[in-house]
Structure 1
């Protein structure tokens, strides 16, 4: 089927060239910033609102220029760029294969790659979707000072404000405090959070601003032992409600993996982390749905980061441990509460490569040592960072992929799957294998009246072969440009009846123009491949 997207307005600003020199005396001489000198002199930024540099366990971080205006070519949060505000929910998928490349944006200094905290969920609904138990927003206070044991960060991001609307922005971790907050251009605003510590900014104006923050957070959040004296009784008041049918499924999993309340909460957390870190990606996708899909994921130990975190939160809450699932466009992990502190815990399962940019003059965040062990052969998110940031492992932004907006990569590393352009064997002149499977037919309905870059596009349809639905097959989406170039977007999974219903996101860095939506499937053992245009 063919759907043509409306053209997006792109405003190009002409640069004004200034002469390299002019007559008269030199009134100012430029000196490169010296963070060490700024620290020694307790210097501030030009506006006097931020320390010019901060000393962190990761190294000396230099403050961003708070007077610089937002730029149109930079990653932007909020507005249509970060879909789903206070009502965001999460439903797991069956695509357990490992993505090769995911996009990621990090607005923090030091960079917390890939642990930018963008979406947090703390309750499991009857539908097996994850949500937020307490969606009421409360004010985030601004002010205070650095405490002993703190990590410090700057945040520097573009935000599209929407008048009288809570606009989602990222944070560095649970319990983060805001020491200073400013926008350019200056506007009146308030920072807010919900019960799962999702962050939002609210203003009476609709405009793009540059938001600069100074942040502090207890360093032990990023790596410290779970409290040995924690008890299930003391933790019970922090647990959200859990539907009995889901709790029963969690208890079945706990019984089969040998974890029970006979263990202390600290011991149980360690055992759970060991189990879910031993997952592995798989191209053999699960076929079940509902609670059975959760149990299949948890017991088969199949999946990438988001599957691990999703199954972990259900299992841990069924045991009696307050737990959250956290995700962004590239990675997913969990946080577990011991009565005093939320612990960030990486379960692994990251993509093979990360498409990101960073300032090499600024430090990368160096967290404390991981208090939990990694099974042999397992890879942490830190391994992904090292591959990406090494001289041979970095990747450029030449690959079309979704940006950091909770979109095409917004499920914590959903694979970007290229649409097959030719049959296997054709590329090298070999003989194309005979495919006896009946070809699949794909239907698609676009639910949105308009489409914008970085905004979710609701799609629904059905995949069938010989009149029967193709259960659980992958449905790939791509855009075809006027020149014929295919730009992969995202994949969804069909349900038991071959129907799919979800949202894909048009990459925010997509060039302006007319595009056709191309839908395809590689099929499965029964259903053949198929493409709809």
Structure 2
């Protein structure tokens, strides 16, 4: 049978409050060693009873995680975590629905069509006027708009065609432990799988790691990438056929999104070239290298100058390109673009890659369906994302509903001419598909709102996918009382379903509800505990954290610790205080 959880209330001194008590029984695993006479751990009684008490559970401030350091992950017991914190936002796991239909027209990776395929070559063109309407498909949360990596090219042919220098694929290991030096992202895509077929997968950064994933319908998959860090997913199962939903948790080096130069002493471009690993060293055809050296002379830079001066000069020059018609062709598209300073994002990124490569700086051309930019490699800093801007009448964003926009940990330090500050990559101009709140949050300074990678920044004032407060609270009567803030609303938490019996080392299913003022409270983090009965939550054991959906409900499976003693336990829920809501215990 299903039993309700206890309904403790926040203690107000001098008043005795009633609590309904529900229990669940925990037993040893059937395959494990016998536990004396108690072979079963019961977590619940056959009926709930009301008891009167004078001592009430108390709420307290943030507790460290078991490893004594904060963690952004909010466990669900299996597969992907239920959510993670990103700055002042709480980002729930995307739904893993069977893709029976695709009414929204979401691109299906592995098929031909808009935003679904990967370019393995790029030939520069002479259409240097402003683009009309750019269409960008959001697949990550936080969204790196408009810097999703779909195609990265790191080689140049004699005719200026950009290509892959090292197309061979290597298999990637799934899993790992994230830390404060890395930013975290949800990815959610539709993929068309067939046995042994490599399907292009977008990424947020060259060193992106896939920490966990879910596929529906369930099927084994593996992940790979090539020498330019283009990612792929594939299934070798003979039954792989059709469209699948892939949801994955990823992280990446935070420094990639906040570019900077090496700081451990004086660097020149030649020193960068010397420190570059052999597999990353750029190799230009002689004719291309000769044209690029002419550009370096035009800009007044060379490989022996201070790196900061040289690189700022390059960035400023290419960011100052304008959308205008090219003069009559000289027969050399690179020289035409350089001499006229004409072009949009793809022309800037193409010409920058060739110019920086001539200095010995490893550089890649990176693009997606809406934008092109470059990546450069520096000692100490490794790959850095460098945006050179673009020009378009408008940009339309698909799939960004209820998402937050990624906020790097530092501002771009390079020169920003006026032409660059007004372009769509800065989310200026006619941007459709984003709310005013999303745009406002993105434009906040780091002093006004924390970066996306900060997971111990405390509560914030943003909106979007929820607000993350302290890591957790614990029901324990021996802890100090936290008085509710009268300016904030107080949620009501309740368990609606729970397994009446569970086994050590196995899963227990718990469902619950969060509401405020009688209405469902969505995107709210709820901690789930086991506690010995009749002790007001003292000695509780954290099972994990769940996140409510749009209906205010959560449904989650949690791992029962293998070390828990066979006994009867109460199930408790709690949620932390944040910018809008007081802390709460289950009711």
The TM-score normalised by the length of structure 2 is 0.56
What is the aligned partner in structure 2 of residue 298 from structure 1? Answer: 338
| Alpha-carbon separation, structure 2, partners of 1:62 and 1:84 | 25
Which piece of structure 1 moves more, 81-90 or 297-306? Answer: 81-90
Query: Is residue 417 of structure 2 the alignment partner of residue 375 of structure 1?
Result: yes
Aligned counterparts of 2:353 and 2:235: Cα–Cα separation in 1: 34
Instruction: Please state whether the residue corresponding to 1:188 is helix, strand or coil.
Output: coil
Whole-angstrom distance in 1 between the partners of 2:339 and 2:194 = 44
5 Å-filtered alignment, 1:280-429, equals: 280-282=322-324, 284-288=325-329, 292-340=332-380, 341-367=382-408, 368-378=410-420, 379-384=422-427, 387-388=430-431, 389=434, 391=436
Say whether 1:116 aligns with 2:116.
no
Residue in structure 1 matched with residue 258 of structure 2 by the alignment: 223
Equivalent in the alignment of 2:243: 208
TM-aligned CA deviation for residue 80 of structure 1? 2.4
Residue of structure 1 in register with 2:276 after alignment: 235
What is the DSSP-based 3-state SS (H/G/I as helix, E as strand, rest coil) of the residue aligned with 2:314?
Answer: helix
Write out aligned runs for 1:245-284 (5 A). 245-282=287-324, 284=325
User: Does the aligned pair in 2 maintain the 1:70–1:210 contact within 8 Å?
Assistant: no
| Residues 142, 386 of structure 1: alpha-carbon distance in 2 compared, 3 angstrom cutoff | farther
Is the partner of 1:297 in helix, strand or coil?
helix
Q: Which residue of 1 aligns with 2:209?
A: 177
Instruction: Give, in angstroms, the shift of residue 69 of structure 1.
Output: 3.6
Q: 1:137 to 1:95 in 2, by over 3 A?
A: same
1:185–1:386 Cα change, 3 Å: farther
- Map of 1:56 onto structure 2: 86
Matched, 1:142 2:174: yes
Instruction: Give per-residue Cα distances to partners, 1:56-113, cap 9 Å, x unaligned.
Output: 1363212102354463232211232479978710001100011131111011011111
Work out which of the residue numbers 186, 189, 197 in structure 1 matches 2:221.
Answer: 189
CA–CA distance in structure 1, aligned partners of residues 428 and 234 of structure 2:
33
CA distance 1:135–1:83, change in 2 (3 Å): farther
The higher radius of gyration belongs to 2
Q: Report the counterpart of residue 404 of structure 1 in structure 2.
A: none
Instruction: Indicate conservation of the 8 Å contact 1:166/1:202, yes or no.
Output: yes
Runs of at least 5 residues in structure 1 that lack an aligned partner in the other structure: 1-35, 395-533
Name which structure has the greater RCO, CA cutoff 8 Å, separation 6+. 2
Other structure's SS at 1:80 match = coil
SS of residue matched to 2:418: coil
RMSD: 2.7
Shift of 1:240: 3.1
Q: Report the CA distance shift for 1:147/1:224 in structure 2 as closer, same or farther (over 3 A).
A: same
Structure 2 CA distance, aligned partners of 1:199 and 1:108?
15
Aligned partner of residue 196 in structure 2, secondary structure: coil
1:474 aligned residue: none
**Distance in 1, Cα, partners of 2:80 & 2:73:** 10
Judged with a 3 Å threshold, the aligned counterparts in structure 2 of structure 1 residues 330 and 85 are, in CA distance, closer, same or farther, namely: closer
| Deviation, structure 1 residue 295 | 1.0
Mapping of 1:396-475 within 5 angstroms? none
Q: Is the 8 A contact 2:130 2:323 kept in 1?
A: yes
**Within 2, Cα distance between the matches of 1:143 and 1:222?**
22
What SS is found at the alignment partner of 2:365?
A: strand
Instruction: Determine the C-alpha separation between the residues in 2 that align with 1:314 and 1:43.
Output: 44
2:96 is equivalent to residue 66 of structure 1? yes
Aligned length: 354
Instruction: Name the CA shift for 1:347/1:146 in 2 (closer, same or farther; >3 Å).
Output: same
What is the DSSP-based 3-state SS (H/G/I as helix, E as strand, rest coil) of the residue aligned with 1:154? strand
**Structure 2: runs of 5 or more not aligned:** 1-61, 63-69, 440-587
Partner SS state of residue 143, structure 2 = coil
Distance 1:86 1:356, change over 3 A: closer
Describe the superposition over 1:500-520 as per-residue Cα deviations: whole angstroms up to 9, x where unpaired. xxxxxxxxxxxxxxxxxxxxx
Contact kept? 1:112, 1:364, Cα under 8 Å: yes
Deviations 1:151-198 (A, max 9, x none): 100000101123312111100112111101221111222111000001
- Specify the alignment match of 1:161 in structure 2: 193
Q: Closer, same or farther in 2 for the Cα pair 1:60/1:295, shift >3 Å?
A: same
CA distance in 2: counterparts of 1:96 and 1:118, whole angstroms:
22
Q: Give the 3 Å change call, closer, same or farther, for CA 42–325 of structure 1 in structure 2.
A: closer
**Displacement after TM superposition at 1:363 (Å):** 1.1
Once the 2 structures are TM-superposed, how far is the Cα of residue 309 of structure 1 from its aligned partner?
Answer: 0.2
Query: What is the rounded CA distance, in whole Å, between the counterparts of 1:287 and 1:132 in structure 2?
Result: 30
Q: CA–CA distance in 2 between the matches of 1:236 and 1:64?
A: 38
**Counterpart secondary structure, 2:376:** strand
Could you say what secondary structure the match of 2:426 adopts?
A: helix
Partner secondary structure for residue 335 of structure 1: strand
The 2-side partners of 1:256 and 1:324 are apart by 22
Aligned with residue 110 of structure 2, among 62, 78, 81: 78
